[in-house]
Amino acid sequence: MTGMILRVLNGPKLWERANPCYRGVYREEPTYCDALPADHEINRLFVDWYIELNGGSGSGIVRDLDKAVHYAKLCNRHFPGQMFEVIEVTEGEAPPRVGGQFLGFDLSQGGVASILQWGLQSEVAERKPESPADILWKVMRLYFGPRLNEFGLFQRLDDASLCLESMIALQSYKPAYFEGGDLNAFHVMGVYLAWSQSDWPAGAQR
């Protein structure tokens, strides 16, 4: 990856079992504002900048901090009850260019996808372990779960790295055990708060 990675994100994706505390890279993104005309600034930015910048791929990566902050402010103004913010994502312990509060380490693919949005929960966790892989995953969750911070991310690089290595090892033992494809495509990535309109307490629903 090259260049600064910025994301304009809201709260956690509204999926069953999603961790409401999660504040990493895989969250709700801006959408077209149907309540306003097509030529309104927020919709022009969405179509001509946010979507166009990503070639329609929906990756949501932007590079211009000033424009990202301005767009996040528009989203908060025209989507009542929302709390969009701008985060910066870096590789491992690489320092952010913008600075800001360190939220934690995510296990992410390209600064977009994540395997932490569930809070290390899964359908396996809701039933009695039946296979050796299920038992190993239960042990991993018991070990790594308490190491997630108030934002559903790892506070320490070594914990994040070991968790990812352990999940890759388990999936090599039982292919397709975890959703998300090849976990070797995921990396430990630092998440920093580049801009927020107000404090977002841990566990808040958005």
Domain enclosing residue 158, as ranges: 5-196
The per-residue pLDDT for 6 is 95
- Over residues 129-164, the pLDDT tens digits come to 678 999 999 999 999 999 999 999 999 999 999 999
Q: How many domains does the chain have?
A: 1
The per-residue pLDDT for 99 is 78
Q: Would residue 111 count as lying in a domain?
A: yes
- Over residues 44-63, the pLDDT tens digits come to 999 999 998 766 555 789 99
Mean pLDDT, the chain, whole residue set: 87
Q: Would residue 203 count as lying in a domain?
A: no
Radius of gyration of the chain (CA): 18
Of the candidate ranges 64-73, 120-129, 152-161, the one whose mean pLDDT is the lowest: 120-129
Q: Would residue 204 count as lying in a domain?
A: no
Q: How many angstroms separate the CA atoms of 47 and 156, rounded?
A: 38
Report helix, strand or coil for 102.
Answer: strand
Q: Would residue 201 count as lying in a domain?
A: no
The per-residue pLDDT for 13 is 75
The per-residue pLDDT for 126 is 53
- Inform me whether the pLDDT recorded for 103 exceeds 80: yes
Q: Would residue 102 count as lying in a domain?
A: yes
Are 103 and 202 in contact by the 8 Å Cβ rule? The answer is no
